[in-house]
Amino acid sequence: GELAPAPRWLTASIHASLGWNYLGAANTFITPSLYRELGGFDETLRRSEDYEFFTRCLARQVPFSRVNQTVCLFRRHGDNASLQHDETYAADLARICRDYGPSSQSLAKFYGNAFRAWIYLRNPSWSAHQLRRKLGERRWRG
C-alpha cells in the first residue's frame, strides 16, 4: 500500500518512538553534502542505519520537502530484511529510542502509539492491507 508523506510536525523523539523507519531510504533523496555533514550512516548499527540517520536528520531539524505522489515502488515479501525482527534489530531500535526518544518510557509508548494512529488514519488503503496481512497470519497459526 501507499504511504502518505511524513507530517511536518514529526520530531526525532516521535520518530524514534515508532519502532520503525517511516522515512524509507528508497524514497528519500539527500544531497551528498548533507550526508557528509551529518557523518553518514552509523555503521555500528547492523539493521537500522537508515532509521537512525533519518531520525538524526529530524533531531538536527533538517528541512524535508514532501512530494504528494508515489516516487518509488518496492516489493515486500516474507524474506525482506526489514521484516525480520531479531535480537540485532531489537538492539538497534532500543539504541535509537535511547539516543533520540523521550526519557520517559510512558511518553515513548504514547508517542509511538499516537504516531501509529496517525499513520493508520492517514493511510486507509495501507491500513486495510496491514489488517488483511495480520488476519491471514493468524489464520495460518491456528
Give pLDDT, residue 78.
Answer: 63
Q: What is the pLDDT of residue 133?
A: 80
- Mean per-residue pLDDT, 61-89: 71
Q: For the stretch 87-120, what's the b/e string if a residue is b when 16 or more beta carbons lie within 10 angstroms of its beta carbon?
A: eebeebbebbbeebbbeeeeebeebbeebeebbe
For the whole model, what pTM was predicted? 0.81
Model pLDDT for residues 40-71, shown as the tens digit of each residue: 999 999 889 999 999 999 999 998 887 777 77
Answer whether 111's CB lies under 8 Å from 101's CB: yes
Residue 2 has pLDDT above 90, yes or no: no
